[in-house]
Structure 1
Amino acid sequence: MAIDHVSVAVSDIAKSGQFYDAVLGHLGMTRIADRPTMIGYGKKFPEFWINARPEMAPVAADTGCHIALRTRSEELVTACYEAALAGGGADAGKPGMRPAALTTYFGAFFTDPDGNKVELLTFPQPV
């Protein structure tokens, strides 16, 4: 089994499109599908979708739901995080080392303009 794609709801598809263009562009993801009410990002096929929900309220901070995107380096984690904050996202955890269940990793968290929580992470290689 493999996860094919994830989707998040956004209140303003144009604003969120610009936001995710900047963030996901650092990961080599581009708009593969661009429709009036949804945008699909990916490298070869849409893996990350945003879907217009104009009447939605901001996502509650305590939903416990988040999406984690793996990057190739600490620099990419930081670049994506900074692009998110510059584009109207909010800090939910600055870039840095974090303990995990099996190892430690370098990660950062942000929320998009609608409150969807996204984590960026990479597993540093031993020296």
Structure 2
Amino acid sequence: MARVVGIDHLVIRVSDFEKSKAFYQKLFTFLGFEILGDYEDAIGWTNGQTRFWIGQADAEGRKRPYRIGDVGFHHYAFELRSRADVDELQAFLRKEGVEIVDPAGEYYEDYYAVFFLDPDGLKLEGMKYGEATGENPAKP
């Protein structure tokens, strides 16, 4: 039987490639990612375990803004090493003027996270689960 061993990459389309490229470059530099490939119409970053790519949306896609609640992407969560890393990410986001939609806090039992938006309003999350209990049921 086939088994998934991880998420290799995510690709999103953006309305303003240069603006999003600058946003994600700052974010991924802060998070320890490096550029994987940089092309005229796409750029990707990696931390050695996962890859995140952006590319320019086509003309039809740029006609309507993204809205959380539409069919499709809801949010993407970056698992961080600790709650302190979540707090550091929030401080970085505030310094950069990034819109934080839900500040760092405990959203579920032993689930600590900060939620924020990219330039197109795509929801992103930095989170740490299981630090207080030493458990993380999502991990083998």
Q: Same fold (TM over 0.5)?
A: yes
Q: Could you tell me the TM-score, scaled by structure 1's length?
A: 0.82
1:68 aligns with 2:72: no
Instruction: Say whether the 8 Å CA contact 1:40–1:50 is kept in structure 2.
Output: yes
Identity %: 28
Superposed CA RMSD: 2.3
Which of 1 and 2 has higher RCO (CA within 8 Å, sep 6+)?
A: 1
| Shift in CA distance, 86/38, structure 1 to aligned 2, threshold 3 Å | farther
105-114 vs 89-98, which moves further:
89-98
User: What is the one-letter code of the residue matched to 1:116?
Assistant: L
SS at match of 1:7: strand
Q: Of the two, which has the highest radius of gyration?
A: 2
Contact map agreement 1:8 1:51 (CA 8 A) in 2: yes
Match of 1:120 among 118, 123, 126: 126
Match of 2:20 among 3, 16, 21: 16
Query: What is the CA deviation profile of residues 54-98 of structure 1, one whole-angstrom value per residue up to 9, with x for unaligned ones?
Result: 642321132371111101122322333343454453222101112
Superposed, 1:1-127 pairs within 5 Å as 1=4, 2-44=6-48, 47-53=51-57, 55=59, 56=62, 57-63=64-70, 65-87=74-96, 89-99=98-108, 103-123=109-129, 124-126=131-133
Aligned-residue offset at 1:38: 0.9
| TM-score normalised by the chain length of structure 2 | 0.75
Question: Is 2:7–2:50's contact at 8 Å kept on the other side of the alignment?
Answer: no
Aligned length in residues = 124
Q: Structure 1: which amino acid aligns with 2:31?
A: L
